[in-house]
Amino acid sequence: MNDSQPPPTKVAILFVCMGNICRSPVARAVFERLTATHGLADRYDVDSCGTSAWHVGHPADPRSVLVAADHGLNLTHTARKLDPATDFQRFRWLIGMDGANVATMLDLGAPPSNVSLLRSFDPDLMTRPDSELEVPDPYYGGPDGFEKMYTMISTACEGLLGATRG
């Protein structure tokens, strides 16, 4: 690259769930590890947020921290709420964990072409209807729900990386 060319634009991805303490911070951590493993971390701008303000300023749910640690991830995180004024400008990829997250983003004015369900990138599920592509919120369940969440997120993030690598 010569000095007159601008630096390449980063691929901007925002993972969105309801409270930003369970699913979306895990998705962010998984995706960041994938980009680092493939030597692509400098090509991505990745963040997570929630559609509600219930947990703003709180760390990730301890069960999410534990499942992440079980898979070799150090999940340090502070929850934040979606900011349509800045997030819809900054992020090209708005990745919801469930239909309610997607509906909220669309209701707040997100460009429909930028909004997807995370599991729509799972290679084994690409032909399934949206109703079968949700990452269920494990908040009110036990540890097995967090492990299932992690598995769903991990598989879908691999597909998302493939879709966004360019």
Is 90 part of the annotated catalytic residue set?
Answer: no
Is 63 part of the annotated catalytic residue set?
Answer: no
Task: Output phi, psi for 140, to 5 deg.
Answer: -95, 10
Is 17 part of the annotated catalytic residue set?
Answer: yes
Q: Which of 22, 23, 80, 87 is catalytic?
A: 23
DSSP string, the chain: --TTSPPPPPEEEEEEESSSSSHHHHHHHHHHHHHHHTT-GGGEEEEEEESSSTTTTPPPPHHHHHHHHHTT--------B--HHHHHHH-SEEEESSHHHHHHHHHTT--GGGEEEGGGG-TTTTTS-GGG------TTS-HHHHHHHHHHHHHHHHHHHHHH--
Q: Which of 61, 63, 137, 157 is catalytic?
A: 137
Active site residues: 17, 23, 137
